[in-house]
Structure 1
Amino acid sequence: MAGNSRQAGTSVTSRALAILGAFDEQHRAMSLSDIAERSEIPLATTHRLLGELSRWGALDRLPTGEYVIGRKIWDIGHLAPAETGLRQVAEPFLHDLYGATRATVHLAVREGTEVVYLDRLRGNQSVPVVSKVGGRLPLHATGVGKVLLAHAPGEVQDTVLAGLTRITSYTITQPGTLRRQLRQVLEKGYATTREEMTLGACSIAVPIYQGDQVVASLGLVVASLKGSEQRLYGALRVAAQSIGRRL
């Protein structure tokens, strides 16, 4: 069970951390009673701590009464050395890439079975984009996600392939088809999507290496890849290699 207070101790700090630890990918929004149950903290104590955490900004309360992780946690997370270093190193190259393509630029990493967007430069084309900095999207339906999934451990791939969800009529939901695409990503060096996350939006993405390890993905979102796939891939590859060298 997440955030077990008996293991963490009985101090106020340990109980607050147990409450935060009760949230995970399957429990992003929870009621007071759910949080108390998962953190194994008495209901009255949970209620008091939720109020304090909410006032500080660690949690937000939805109109439904459920609690979600607050923006303050994300702001503090930006101070983590690995993420901060990656974003700082990548920033000038993201702007160069945007200047060369005028497309929406994404910098993303994998967390579990999802893509987490570290940075985004919005393109000036009228292309629907659902990503946001700090937001999460499925690995199997995004360009940056497919790159990260292709380089992920086998158990991560198996988990994702076992639960493919359809987002648009073009989303790949057949495990065999997606496995073939992931092999092609490794062979070609880049991934593409065609309206698989959002109708009217296509994407292309490449890995960013630190040494021989893929640490992030760099992607572009455009209205269509027809006639421009190789040109965009070339621009992405140059930017990703430059970022990798700086890392």
Structure 2
Amino acid sequence: MNRTDAARRTHGGKPTHGEPMIDRVFALLRAFSDTSPALTVPELSERSGVPLSTTYRLVSRLAAWGALEQRDDGRYAVGLGLLEIASLAPRGHGLRRVAMPYLSDLVEATRQHVLLAVREEHEAVLVERLSHHEAAPVHYRVGGRMPLHSTGVGLVLLAYAEQETQEQILSRRQTRLPEHEPVDVTALRATLAEVRRDGLAELHRGSPQPVLAVAGPVRDADERVVASLSVLVPDGSVPARSLAPAVRAACRAVSRALGSPSAGAPRTHAR
């Protein structure tokens, strides 16, 4: 059961009696997706499991607060009010603000895509993506969720996650996405050990287009791995070892800016 399913706590397609209103609100907000950025009230009700009458009432209040916006066609989309609140998240825009100068330098150095992600339970959440205009298209969006076991940033975050979290993920049958191939858990455990040993993850993806990801950990003042940073390039365009020094340097720079003792004292970024 994923976060959305658990949050709904539905029975027979309807919310359980006495379900907290905040759960229903988040169920409505999570009904939106990349493929469904705008929905009608009945669609929101069906996707969230919230009764239609309650959906009408909550959507009206969310729109009044700016959390939802109604389009000319009558459908609702996520509003700027949520962006204003989300911008205060330390692990989101706060981390992004610190990392941005170094991400920009890495994009210029590699002329490709650079991702910054954090772990949220059993998934990676993309905090920032910078892309050079010459880079090939990729299907990642800021705020989007990615699997830990089949992305470069995800492997790093999983490798340094608490043992309990690792075992929860490794104990379940995993599928490599988007290829929908089964994951060899023994091989995945070995990969995570290599990431911890080398301080880098290397991942080759064949679908929807061949991509190589090289990712590393970002640490905070307590030496906790709080984020992962990666470069995405067309697979076969450059060897992973040629990207490793730039990724390591960027990870150290962001970690240093966050106060990591092992990365050295914080210093002003010179451009």
TM over 0.5: yes
Structure 1 or 2: more helix by fraction: 1
User: CA shift at 1:158, angstroms?
Assistant: 3.0
The aligned counterpart of 1:114 is 123
Give distance in 2, aligned partners of 1:20 and 1:144: 30
User: CA shift at 1:36, angstroms?
Assistant: 5.8
Instruction: Check conservation: 1:103, 1:222, Cα contact below 8 A.
Output: yes
Instruction: Check conservation: 2:93, 2:127, Cα contact below 8 A.
Output: no
The aligned counterpart of 1:12 is none
Among 120, 141, 155, which residue is 2:150 paired with?
141
Kindly tell me: are residues 6 and 22 of structure 1, through their superposed partners in 2, closer, same or farther at Cα, counting changes over 3 Å? same
The aligned counterpart of 2:192 is 182
Gaps of 5+ in 2: 1-5, 9-15, 34-42, 259-271
Instruction: Check conservation: 1:170, 1:194, Cα contact below 8 A.
Output: no
The aligned counterpart of 2:247 is 236
Q: TM-score of the superposition, structure 2-length normalised?
A: 0.72
Partner of 1:212, secondary structure, is coil
**Higher RCO (CA 8 Å, separation ≥ 6 residues):** 1
Among 62, 70, 82, which residue is 1:73 paired with?
82
- Provide, for residues 46-74 of structure 1, a one-character-per-residue CA deviation record: whole Å limited to 9, x for no partner: 42112332464535799xx9988666434
Instruction: Supply the RMSD in Å over aligned alpha carbons.
Output: 3.3
User: CA shift at 1:137, angstroms?
Assistant: 1.4
Kindly tell me: are residues 60 and 147 of structure 1, through their superposed partners in 2, closer, same or farther at Cα, counting changes over 3 Å? farther
1:212-227 to structure 2, matched below 5 A, reads 212-224=223-235
Among 92, 95, 99, which residue is 2:101 paired with?
92
User: CA shift at 1:196, angstroms?
Assistant: 5.4
User: CA shift at 1:5, angstroms?
Assistant: 8.6
User: CA shift at 1:160, angstroms?
Assistant: 2.9
Gaps of 5+ in 1: 9-14
1:57-72 to structure 2, matched below 5 A, reads 57-59=66-68, 72=81
Count how many residue pairs are aligned between Structure 1 and Structure 2: 233
The aligned counterpart of 1:11 is none
- Provide, for residues 140-193 of structure 1, a one-character-per-residue CA deviation record: whole Å limited to 9, x for no partner: 111011100111123322333314223244966111111111111001110011
- Provide, for residues 12-68 of structure 1, a one-character-per-residue CA deviation record: whole Å limited to 9, x for no partner: xxx3x342244698x76774267465xxxx753342112332464535799xx9988
1:10-89 to structure 2, matched below 5 A, reads 15=21, 17-22=22-27, 31-32=44-45, 35=48, 44-54=53-63, 56-59=65-68, 72-89=81-98
User: CA shift at 1:134, angstroms?
Assistant: 1.2
Partner of 1:140, secondary structure, is coil
